[in-house]
Structure 1
Amino acid sequence: MKRSLIKQLRCPACAGALACVGYKFMGEEVIDGVVRCGCGQAYPIRSGVARLLPSETLPADWRAQYAERLDADAPALARLPAASSTDAFSFSYQWAHHQYDALTWELELPERLDIFLRYFAARSFDELQGVRLLDAGCGNGTLSAQLAAAGLEVIAMDYSESVYRAYAHALWDPSIGNDAAARLDYIQGDVWHPPFAPATFDLVYSDGVLHHTPETKRAFQALAPLVRPGGRMFVWLYRRDARPATWVKNRIVDAIRALTRGWSHRNKMRLCWIGAGVLQSVVRFARLFGYRRRRAIPLRLKAVNLFDTISPSYNYEHTPEEVIGWYGEAGFVDVRDVSIKEHRLDDGGFAVIGRRP
């Protein structure tokens, strides 16, 4: 976490200003330390990432290393019990299986960047230089890093442990470079309680995330105040589709999700590997009759994508008209559906953007 980031952060419990106490540094990066609030709440900075979430435990080695300083600087953290490892919930587990040279959602990185530009009707990233962006639900963090490399100032936030791996990858990835790294920060946070001051961002971007929270609209309403006047907010959500084939597919997925609720993530991933193998066999058989995909999808990626489909606890579907109404209620103007018809993923979802007057 960069030292300068503390000015934009707010306590997720009380919305108060925060102070940073660093224990270990690398240039402008605070590698280990604590963030604390006047309300008594404190949050750890570990491996370069501020965890702005309620903590129930602390990693045993980190807690032991800084025990004396925690007693003085953050008694609330010092009282937490040690844990040998953190909980591995679904998205942490999913992105732990991601290979950084692999596709994301069956898309290569240049395609994702091109789609990003098309969503915002920009001819090139020259039009977005210096834009301060919040990637709310950054997942593996690859898009966040490349947006920083393209000239945006990016804060990438995710609820899962994926941000630690994303930060480490971005720090040492030669394709990102020092200039881009200076424009990029990762934090662990909750879209229901985003730890930022109001009107902080030129662009709040949330792609395929809010429908995996307990209430999509509430997550939208929590993020909307972060957009400054003249700024924009983008969301991509699953589409509630009345087409019979899509409806049947979604209900099958719902049934599998219900059947596997309570399974360990390891067992769910094993099921997904089996399912990916079956799908690959079906595709090979279909090729005998002339079926062709745009590109071959590796078996590992098929399994990870299936895991993303069946593992979330929440998985809501919406309509563009419904979400456009949320924008209006939140005071946005120039609200429109910017879905790309030929973009395969937009067939199962839709994209909406609005501007804060």
Structure 2
Amino acid sequence: MSAVQPRQHEWSEQWSMFEDHELFLFQDWIRPLTLEDLRGKRVLEAGCGGGQHTAFMAPYARELVAVDLNTTAIARARNRAATNVTFLEADIATMDLGRRFDIVLSIGVVHHTDEPDRTVANLARHVAPGGRLVLWIYSREGNALMAHVVEPLRRRLLRRLDRRALRHLARVVCLAMYPAVHTVYRLPVPWLPYWEYFRNFRRLSFARNTLNVFDKLNAPQVQLITRERCEGWFRTGAFVHHEIQPYLGVSWRAMGVAR
């Protein structure tokens, strides 16, 4: 299996420093799929990160194959007790596992790849007939702050910053959000930018919100995906049905049933 995308130390450093145990977030991201839908299924996790989602799925899946180009050692170490999980180091855009799965999930990963279109097409090839492809991706719509402020700052100023210093910066930025999140964003004014997002922010711990900020500042690259582009992934003839839902005004939940 050849890798078109180079390995990126940022991800291994991120998941060495952080863990994520917020089950409700994962359940939100995979809807309308549920963990019960994984029961007895052959599941492919495309981009397993630190193995946190692997841990959520392993008790349900009959077999779970978790793939990542950068972090499989971390994910494997955190899931030692899961005997039904196989970890593979590969580029999800180019891998050929030689088999198909009942459910293929890629949660929060496709928008960080070099070629999202190629990545999704390759994931679709790994879905068995009648199986499901499940994606959660950052949206272009509703993300002006990220597109025009966060990303330019990250590219120009933060790329060479030590990861520990970046973690400290993420804590400071996260803390600075709290006054507005707990005052202005408590008002019933859903037309405010990021209103839905910050309502969810209040449900999370400071540590989890810091991870979210760090992720935005640390990612080597991100492509924000329009709904039209996402729709195109499922209109290739490979799927008999698909649905795309906005999530918190800043991302898409997408699921397709393979032909």
> Is 2:150 the counterpart of 1:253?
yes
> Is 2:67 the counterpart of 1:157?
yes
> How far apart in 2 are the matches of 1:306 and 1:318?
19
Pairwise CA distance, 1:326: 1.9
> How far apart in 2 are the matches of 1:239 and 1:289?
24
Write the mapping of 1:1-357 to structure 2, written as runs, cut at 5 A.
12-13=1-2, 89-99=9-19, 102-103=20-21, 108-109=22-23, 111-112=24-25, 114-115=27-28, 118-120=31-33, 122=34, 125=36, 127-160=37-70, 162-172=71-81, 181-198=82-99, 200-241=100-141, 243=142, 246-260=143-157, 262-264=159-161, 267-284=162-179, 287=182, 294-295=202-203, 297-298=205-206, 300-340=207-247, 344=248, 347-357=249-259
TM-score normalised by structure 1 residue count? 0.61
Aligned length: 245
Report the structure number with the largest CA radius of gyration. 1
> How far apart in 1 are the matches of 2:232 and 2:183?
47
Q: Secondary structure at the match of 2:118?
A: helix
Superimposed CA distance per residue, residues 300-336 of structure 1 (whole angstroms, 9 cap, x where no aligned partner): 4444322311222321111223222222215211111
Pairwise CA distance, 1:282: 4.7
Whether the 8 Å CA contact 1:336–1:354 is kept in 2: the answer is yes
> How far apart in 2 are the matches of 1:309 and 1:215?
19
Q: Cα gap change, 1:158/1:286 in structure 2, threshold over 3 Å: closer, same or farther?
A: closer
Superimposed CA distance per residue, residues 53-90 of structure 1 (whole angstroms, 9 cap, x where no aligned partner): 69x9xxxxxxxxxxxxxxxxxxxxxxxxxxxxxx8711
Whether the 8 Å CA contact 1:217–1:326 is kept in 2: the answer is yes
Question: In percent, how many aligned pairs have the same letter?
Answer: 25
Q: Secondary structure at the match of 1:171?
A: coil
Q: Secondary structure at the match of 2:203?
A: coil
> How far apart in 2 are the matches of 1:314 and 1:117?
23
TM-score normalised by structure 2 residue count? 0.81
Whether the 8 Å CA contact 1:239–1:318 is kept in 2: the answer is yes
Pairwise CA distance, 1:290: 8.9
Pairwise CA distance, 1:279: 3.4
Q: Cα gap change, 1:113/1:207 in structure 2, threshold over 3 Å: closer, same or farther?
A: closer
Letter in 2 for 1:209: V
> How far apart in 2 are the matches of 1:227 and 1:190?
17
Q: Secondary structure at the match of 2:233?
A: helix
Whether the 8 Å CA contact 2:104–2:126 is kept in 1: the answer is yes
Superimposed CA distance per residue, residues 198-227 of structure 1 (whole angstroms, 9 cap, x where no aligned partner): 4x2111111111111111101111221111
Q: Cα gap change, 1:152/1:116 in structure 2, threshold over 3 Å: closer, same or farther?
A: farther
Q: Cα gap change, 1:278/1:237 in structure 2, threshold over 3 Å: closer, same or farther?
A: closer
Whether the 8 Å CA contact 1:132–1:203 is kept in 2: the answer is yes
> How far apart in 2 are the matches of 1:287 and 1:234?
33
> How far apart in 2 are the matches of 1:326 and 1:290?
35
Superimposed CA distance per residue, residues 157-213 of structure 1 (whole angstroms, 9 cap, x where no aligned partner): 1111x22122122114xxxxxxxx232111111112114014x21111111111111
CA RMSD of aligned residues (A): 2.9
Whether the 8 Å CA contact 1:145–1:170 is kept in 2: the answer is yes
> How far apart in 2 are the matches of 1:225 and 1:286?
42
Whether the 8 Å CA contact 1:158–1:188 is kept in 2: the answer is yes
Q: Secondary structure at the match of 2:87?
A: strand
> How far apart in 2 are the matches of 1:318 and 1:285?
27
Q: Which has the higher contact order (CA 8 A, sep 6+)?
A: 2
